[in-house]
Amino acid sequence: MAEITSREYAAGMDAEDKLSTYKKEFYLPDYLYYEANGLGPMSRRSEETLMRVSYRISSMNGAWTSLCGAITNT
């Protein structure tokens, strides 16, 4: 068995990783990614949803901000 810190060990663990198919779902840098308190890298699906919702809000021609004002002023 390879040392736990070796590339061979890491490659073997990667080969056995049942969640590896989800890796392509995220924007991952080519370097080691450390994120202490964040949510981690954005997923491609999250970006698509954010863009879709942003477009819908922007296409409301100010109705969204009027609605927010009406809610907060009641």
Q: Is 67's pLDDT higher than 70?
A: no
Mean pLDDT for all residues in the chain? 80
Prediction pTM value: 0.50
Q: What is the pLDDT of residue 74?
A: 52
**Cβ neighbours of residue 26 closer than 8 Å, sequence gap 6 or more:** 40, 41, 42, 43, 44
Question: Residue 41: CA atoms inside 13 Å, Cβ hemisphere, count?
Answer: 15
Q: Is 37's pLDDT higher than 70?
A: no
Q: Which of 46, 11, 13 lies closest to 27 in space, CA to CA? A: 46
Identity of the highest mean pLDDT range in 24-28, 38-42, 58-62, 66-70: 24-28
